[in-house]
Amino acid sequence: MPDSIHAIPEVVILRLPLYVRVLTQLKDEGTEVISSRELGDRLSVTPAQIRKDLSYFGRFGKQGRGYNVSYLVGELRQVLGLDRQWNTAVIGIGRLGRAIINYPGFAPEGFKVVAAFDADPAQVGRQFEDVAIQSIGEMQQTIRERNIAIAIVAVPAPQAQRVISELVSCGVKAILNYAPIAPQVPEDVRVRNIDPVLALQTMTYHLKVRQDEAGS
């Protein structure tokens, strides 16, 4: 393992979950061994890049023999901390927040929604799945009592920075933000921003280029 997490490029960290997903699919399909070339074909990544990425975390394969799929996926899950449960809170219980709570894909991957918060008194006390909605004022105590490590923010943009700052003050170090803002947080807090509009806008660039080329 590297001496410091800071020695690993962020782009490598971002690729690791993709490796885990594909390797898990391969394992489920009954594949026992895979080469870096075959894995690269699945991920549209060069074999050299895969070998370099994995080298940050140890030696997993044997030259000429490839990678043991079951072993590699297990090791990468440990690297990512997916071998344990992460208690998670959702803040903002509108349509998006309710969809997040009801999404069945989190728990199997180790992310358990154990608390939910909303500023609307009409929402407080309602139950979604097995999670009761609490007021924002209860957030600090609940986060401490339930050992919540990750927060998912699904509030409107005008309230997002205030909510995120409060989460930081509660000791939360990992935040998934669905609000269309670029929040300000301390260096030791990790934020991932999910903005479908930005993703769509990157695709329209490529669509426009193709249309322009077709019309020229």
Condensed to tens digits (0 to 9), the pLDDT of residues 132-187 reads 999 999 999 999 999 999 999 999 999 999 999 999 999 999 999 999 999 999 99
What are the structural domain ranges in the chain? 5-79, 86-197
Identify the CA nearest to 158 among candidates 130, 181, 128: 181
Fold of 86-197: Rossmann fold (3.40.50)
Per CATH, domain 5-79 is 3.40.50.720? no
Q: How far apart are CA 180 and CA 193, in angstroms?
A: 8
Name the pLDDT band for 1 (thresholds 50, 70, 90).
very low
- What rounded mean pLDDT belongs to the chain? 91
Residues in the chain: 216
Tokens of 20: 């885990």
Condensed to tens digits (0 to 9), the pLDDT of residues 10-48 reads 999 999 999 999 999 999 999 999 999 999 999 999 999
Judge contact between 139 and 170, C-beta under 8 A.
yes
Q: How far apart are CA 93 and CA 99, in angstroms?
A: 9
Flag whether the pTM goes above 0.75: yes
Is residue 201 packed enough to be buried (19+ CB in 10 Å), middle (13-18) or exposed (0-12)?
exposed
Identify the CA nearest to 26 among candidates 59, 73, 60: 73
Mean pLDDT of the 185-209 span: 92
| pLDDT > 70? residue 5 | no
